């Protein structure tokens, strides 16, 4: 089953509660929450107070993507705020195995993200320990970027790695996905699709979700 996880980074922040309720109404599977600290990535988004504020608005899975330096310092706070899946970057954590175990000890699912220039091979010893691998198909930090074509090869590599380890994981892809390329992303092996601009563009959430799902 292919899951859709709209990124609320592209939502209308003045109507965030309404937009999240609209996502649930129109059949998405997760809410993708991009947390940025202005250090690991060149932008600042939202954090723990916002997640707490919106948690009681929906029963959708909160897919929290931490684009922050040394995220292990804050994962308990995000868990307590209502995150269901906590994804940390391979590039952001020195003791990644320890951080993965810590997230799992909090009763949360754990994901590891890799930036476009990071090789899939770094995941060899981690794929058996996580619930999700997130392949960044743009350089993280901003919404509305174009899909990086070689990401398709990386998605396929992650799929092959999961088969090698006999591990049924979520393979999530984030960045530049829209109706023109979503089918290719899924065919490469992705089963969780993050889309921001493609979902929230022009305020036509229902129509945009339908267009994306035509490629599922």
Q: Annotated binding residue at 40? A: no
Count CB neighbours of 94 within 10 A: 8
Catalytic residue (choose from 37, 131, 174, 178) = 174
Q: Annotated binding residue at 84? A: no
Q: Annotated binding residue at 32? A: yes
Q: Annotated binding residue at 80? A: no
- Contact indicator for 27, 2 with CB cutoff of 8 Å: no
- Contact indicator for 65, 43 with CB cutoff of 8 Å: no
- Give Dmax (Cα) for the chain: 46
Q: Annotated binding residue at 78? A: no
34 is catalytic: yes
Strand partners, 6: 195
Catalytic residue (choose from 34, 63, 131, 178) = 34
Q: Annotated binding residue at 45? A: no
SS3 state at 21: helix
Q: Annotated binding residue at 175? A: yes
Q: Annotated binding residue at 176? A: yes
Q: Annotated binding residue at 111? A: no
CA-CA-CA-CA torsion sign (110, 194, 12, 40): positive
d(CA 197, CA 202): 9
Q: Annotated binding residue at 143? A: yes
Structural tokens at position 17: 């509660």
Structural tokens at position 184: 């290719």
DSSP label at residue 171: E
Which residues belong to the active site? 34, 174
Binding-site residues for a divalent metal cation sit at: 32, 34, 65, 174
Binding-site residues for substrate sit at: 7, 65, 141-144, 174-176, 196-197
């Amino acid at each position: 089953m292919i899951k859709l996880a709209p990124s609320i980074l592209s939502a209308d922040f003045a109507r965030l509660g309404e937009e999240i309720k609209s996502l649930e109404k129109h059949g998405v599977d997760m809410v993708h929450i991009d947390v940025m600290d202005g250090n690991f990535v060149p932008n600042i988004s939202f954090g723990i107070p916002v997640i707490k504020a919106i948690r009681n608005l929906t029963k959708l899975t909160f897919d929290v993507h931490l684009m922050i330096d040394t995220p292990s310092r804050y994962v308990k706070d995000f868990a307590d705020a209502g995150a269901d899946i906590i994804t940390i970057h391979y590039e952001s954590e020195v003791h990644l195995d320890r951080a993965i175990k810590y997230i799992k000890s909090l009763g949360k699912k754990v994901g590891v993200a890799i930036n476009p220039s990071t090789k899939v091979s770094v995941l060899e010893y981690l794929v058996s320990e996580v619930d999700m691998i997130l392949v960044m198909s743009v350089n993280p930090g901003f919404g509305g970027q174009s899909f990086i074509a070689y990401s398709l090869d990386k998605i396929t590599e992650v799929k092959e790695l999961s088969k090698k380890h006999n591990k049924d994981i979520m393979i999530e892809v984030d960045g530049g996905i829209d109706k023109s390329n979503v089918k290719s992303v899924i065919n490469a092996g992705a089963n969780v699709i993050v889309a921001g601009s493609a979902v929230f563009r022009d305020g036509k959430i229902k129509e945009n979700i339908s267009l994306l799902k035509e490629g599922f």
